Structure 1
Amino acid sequence: MQPRIEYPARFDADGPDFESSTMNLSIVQAHEDPEDSSVDMTSSDGGNGIVNILIVDDEPRNLTVLETVLDSPRYRVIRAESADQALLALLRHDFAVLILDVQMPGTTGFELAQMIKERKKTSEVPIIFLTAYYNEDQHVIEGYDSGAVDYLLKPINPAILRSKVSVLAELFLKQRQLEDANRALSAEVAERRLVQQQLSELNETLEQRVLDRTEAHKQAEQQIRLLMNEVNHRSKNLLSVVTAIAQQTAASSPREFVKKFSSRVQALAVNHDLLVKSQWRSIDAFELISGQLAHFGDLVGKRILFDGPPIRMSSAAAQSIGMVVHELSTNTVKYGALSGAEGRIEIAWEIDGNRAEPVFSIRWAERDGPPICAPTHRGFGTTVVTKMVEMSLDGQTVLDYSSTGLIWLFACPLKNVLEGLPI
């Protein structure tokens, strides 16, 4: 049998009672730091698979029997013959399970359990009640209401008690392992954050050095141009790769998909050239529309008319609206105004500054073309001219398949179109 750990039978001259036990619990709580989990003078050796078990009974012979039943290298059994001794043990040790006798002089097991549950540090410790007298249903219910996880009647079956304690001890060890893992993970996260902070500081230092060196050289502007040209070159190579991938993956698909996809990539390339030309700052709306319609040649200015106030669009707005113009122009050649000899297109944009928040709007209207009707299904082109531009610029679109010709209208807050310029 393992060495017996006992505590003084009394804390004062009058002997233990409920009032003195409550006072002792208050003293314990008053001296504990609610954030400090290291108050215990001797904690459970959970790291080696050994756990503490507290047995509380006013009859020493009963404690001896429990020690015999729970004799195991895995357990460190600690005795207490009163509520005061139990509270002192709880202050000094961590326990995997508490085994309490219900009928004790002064403070009953139910009352002791309630005090234990009121203490933050011990509120989650599982309690098993043992009793030879309180065997009525109301007593059992009272035991569970006091915070017990089990209620056993004497004489107890040693195998059952050992089995229940074994489960609770295993849960205690698993919890300890989880806490250790969480602490290790927290330490690793803290270390990685520190490394990330150091890398961020190093990057800031390197960026400042680059900026200082750029400002110190007379050829800074030329270096920026070279850099932008390099970005342009690499981006075009990337677009070529995307086109090649589309052609390869579309081997079992209609050729029309490859044609449409390649055409859209080319539209992005036009926008990209305009952005590089403006050093990725902004693009004039007139220049953007002209670039997307340049392949119509002489039709621009005759059958294709567009006009609007001067406005420089952000790169994001240029990409989205440029793709819309490309899709609409591709569609009009096949089915719309430019599929015949008389049709024409009018493109106009404007800024409404009379609202609380200025609004930018752009309109594509087709005239004198063949009769059209709404498509029976929505393809990718429809998504480009509606949902994609709406999501990109937080605006709204209207797509009207009028008998006189297709009409597309888009409106959004002006600030979403500008490149960080004051309104």
Structure 2
Amino acid sequence: MSVPELSGDRQSVSQVGAPRPVAAALDVVNILIVDDEPKNLTVLETVLTDPRYRLVKGGSAQDALLALLREEFAVLILDVQMPGVTGFELAQMIKERKKTAEIPIIFLTAFYNEDEHVIEGYDNGAVDYLLKPINPSILRSKVSVLVELHLKQRQLESANRALSAEVAERRFIQAQLSELNDTLEQRVAERTEAIMQAERLNRLLMNEVNHRSKNLLSVVLAVAQQTAYSSGPDFVRNFSNRVQALAVNQDLLVENQWRSIGVLELVRGQLAHFGDLVQSRIAVEGPSLQLSPSAAQSIGMAVHELSTNAVKYGALSTDHGAIEITWAADYEKTDQGFHIRWEERGGPEVKAPAHRGFGTTVVTRMIEMGLGGRTTLDYAASGLIWSYVSPLRRVLEEER
């Protein structure tokens, strides 16, 4: 079932459930949906019916702003094309207000489907940009993920308040003990400092986990959306393979305590399922270089996509093809100091594809957008050649 593109008269803000400042129970959240077409609001209400959700509907930007003044929301679902104030302009207003700046926004549109509009949507603070007609299951899944993050944030805030109250109580007791026994004053002060250090460490750790989780979630959502668009019935298999490639990078980063990954270690990790081919038909050579976590993620995904393509269409689709992977670093160059190259030979004759799939996007635009630099994809008849160059500072982990 897909959400149809409907037309109709505009409708003022309305709510599913009795008005109230915030959701009454900890596990019930508010979701704001804004569309100037009442029928579209009705369809979205049907799609998102769930006992955990309290849906608030608005027919204009003004309705949405009034609702945001009164209530707390876990997710905002905005139509882009609205009369007066557009969805993009409304998102900018929401992000400028401190109280609502962190609320995740999903854009829905039936018209603004060009790349520049999609990019504009993300620039205006969206976590997702969906085109109508949408798949209800996908929308429900995305909303569910954002709601779970919102609930986790609530739990963290509640735990922090309890921890703050406990720390305040302990400080009061320590002050009383200090008054009763001056000889314990130094020990009490040392204990208080230890507690404060633990609190700071805990905040730093939670911020780091939150930051890395959001980054990884954004990558997974982008991979899921693009894979679903290009894979058709093979979605589950292709998406699972790409998530597995991300998992390999994640395991390597965890093993290295999120500091860096060696290029050789990363490449061998992504090619581990080829077994002895890595020594016999896949040559890997380059100096010992340590990649930053972001570079490891982008380059690891590129190696995965290139190896998948080689098995399907390239050098590894025959019994005699071979692949050479090399990398280098030139510390005298500032703009093109890092270079990595993938070259195939001995496979079937190569021809440029009729259209660019998601795999091509991963090895070109995605790595360029993530790390800067420049990629080259050469469909030479003798075998595919891919290379990437960039400044060393964008790729290598800085020495500490």
Relative to the length of structure 2, the TM-score reads: 0.45
Which protein shows a greater Rg?
1
